[in-house]
Structure 1
């Protein structure tokens, strides 16, 4: 079993802030491991993602943006939706408080 730290590194490794975020099999596996470990949960109907504070706190701002974009792309992948632009609201898994938003037009924003 991969450690949480290893999974977090896999998700944002080799992606610079300026690069396009792409989903590959390693990232899919890492996301699905976080889901299995109940550190990440997707609401496919409402385009919401719930992330454990233990995961979220491991990233700097650029890492949070990359992680959020990956979640949006994964959400569309699981919905088999290739037409719509990815977008979502990200919530704290424990409290349900909105912590970030992302949309291809509105961009990434951390909610205070």
Structure 2
């Protein structure tokens, strides 16, 4: 009898992406807050000169999934820069920090 744990198709997930979701939403600011149980990522569209900015999407993650996302982003940034060169970072004065408001980091 064959071991089902070695079957690669058993580990595949069928992910559905609607047309509306596939269009995506432009955001240029992320506000990250956390508690002992979760990380909250608010993705915001901030327009120059506008007095208000709208949260376009909110993602809530467990600390474990937040760390997995961090590692995946790191890996993808390394791959991107190996093909296209280093990403230039603008000085902090131009935009608010990516982490603002909410609780301060806790161990």
Structure 1 and Structure 2 fold alike (TM over 0.5): no
Larger relative contact order (Cα-Cα within 8 Å, sequence gap ≥ 6):
2
Q: TM-score, structure 2 length as denominator?
A: 0.25
* Structure that is richer in helix per residue: 1
